[in-house]
Structure 1
């Protein structure tokens, strides 16, 4: 059995003649937070879609979850085995109360951990309020809560800090680190906020033009001149 929480092996996704992801291999060890960065159009969200079984186009490659080949499973079936995904735009229902929609999401999961998720995400004081009536930052935490229903072991996050202030982004980053540690959740996170990425990632993978440009600890990525030229623009200090 593989020691990896999630593996994508030679992942390729084509849309007609356009190759969005080109033979990318990535492997996440249990409990790690892996940052996934790169310029717009590099293939980051597309790679996440391929890993979780979503999106159109033609996908080639193998996805293994805790050593099991799940390449043939639907997105819903992959969610049931413990591979969860969040999106750039929130999936919340504005007219439903916070607890109500977390509970509804939990009804489809084998493990109903509604109250645990509410507490972990700091939503207890907001549990009986409509999602439309809470702040945008709280809505982003609610969206993360929905992804954590059923206590998945691997979480794919697509720009969870989008639209947040610097302080809100850093609070979310600390929360993600705490969850990865206390729940043993493995996280693959796409994020344009480099403060968030470099503050919480154990390792960072850089995509460029659908291929891996670099992969390694944050210090190596900061110093990699190819990454600086292709994406970062200047060295991050």
Structure 2
């Protein structure tokens, strides 16, 4: 299996605090990789570094075997690396359809039908984003990341604030997209039901380092993971 996204020796510090301390990660093409760990473990920092939204960091990043370490956010985006955010990256006053169209034109791709259909947004295209439900705003945020059909998608807590039902619906959408479009996903998520229901493999961060990287069933029973993070959360 080929590697879609790889980070080697990634490190980033804030003063004397090492947010990332020599992290290595390699995500196979078409895989959904979970990224979990306690608060402050370095999960969002890793997503920022991989997506190009961080400064003062070190290491190397490869996209489909091509080094993209020095590329800016928009350059990585054009090469097929997209992301979503903990807080929705949408424009409240703009209509849903307008936002998607602007994003598509910026990427030189106006083929939005598949994205709109996949995220069930067709009935909301004329409505300002501030007038749709929070769950729909989350799906819009995901749709904006999917415009242009990226090969690698970084998701930073996409289920944050969603109900259990909405979270599971989102998980089903992600699994379906991976199957239909072959997109590779690295997902940070605190909802363990989502993580264990869709991930092919899980990387656990702790104190800026990779604590363990293994299959979901092994993660559930790993004593180090349970002690550091899962505890009573283990399904």
TM above 0.5, one fold? yes
Q: Is the 8 A contact 1:97 1:129 kept in 2?
A: yes
SS in 2 for 1:40: coil
Task: Using the TM superposition, give the Cα deviation of residue 235 of structure 1 relative to its aligned residue in structure 2, in angstroms.
Answer: 6.7
Partner residue of 1:80? 78
Aligned to 1:150: 148
Instruction: Provide the C-alpha distance between the structure 1 equivalents of 2:184 and 2:213, rounded to a whole number of angstroms.
Output: 17
Structure 2 runs not aligned, ≥5 long: none
- 1:108-150 CA-to-partner distances (Å, cap 9, x unmatched) read 1132222221111111111111111111000000000000011
Which residue of structure 1 aligns with residue 14 of structure 2? Answer: 15
Residue 51 of structure 2 corresponds to which residue in structure 1?
52
Between 32-41 and 111-120, the greater mean CA deviation after superposition: 111-120
Give the TM-score, by structure 1 length: 0.96
Per the alignment, residue 130 of structure 1 pairs with 128
Corresponding position of 1:186: 184
Are the aligned partners of 1:222 and 1:235 in contact in 2 as well (CA < 8 Å)? no
**Mapped partners of 1:203, 1:113: distance in 2:** 31
Q: Which moved more, 1:193-202 or 1:109-118?
A: 109-118
Alpha-carbon separation, structure 1, partners of 2:110 and 2:210: 37
* Superposed displacement of residue 15, structure 1: 2.1
| Matched residue count | 235
TM-score, L = length of structure 2: 0.97
| Alpha-carbon contact 1:223-1:235 (below 8 Å) kept | no
* Consecutive unaligned residues in structure 1, runs of 5 or more: none
- Rounded to whole Å, the distance in 2 between the matches of 1:224 and 1:134 is 41
**What does 1:149-228 align with in structure 2 at a 5 Å threshold?**
149-228=147-226
User: Does the residue aligned with 1:5 lie in a helix, a strand or coil?
Assistant: strand
Partner of 1:97: 95
Superposed CA deviations along residues 82-120 of structure 1, whole A, max 9, x for unmatched, are 100111000111111111100011111132222221111
2-structure distance, mates of 1:59, 1:34: 23
Aligned to 1:27: 26
Find the residue that maps to 2:232 and give its secondary structure.
coil
Question: 2-side partners of 1:53 and 1:114: how far apart?
Answer: 25
RMSD over aligned Cα atoms: 1.2
| Per-residue deviation, residues 67-90 of structure 1 (Å, max 9, x unmatched) | 000001111111111100111000
- Find runs of 4+ consecutive structure 1 residues off by over 3 angstroms: none
Which secondary structure state, in structure 1, belongs to the residue aligned with residue 23 of structure 2? strand
- Is 1:37 aligned to residue 36 of structure 2? yes
> Does the aligned pair in 2 maintain the 1:205–1:212 contact within 8 Å?
yes
Maintained 8 Å contact 1:9/1:24: yes
Asked if structure 1 preserves the Cα contact closer than 8 Å seen for 2:192 and 2:233, the reply is: no
SS in 1 for 2:190: coil
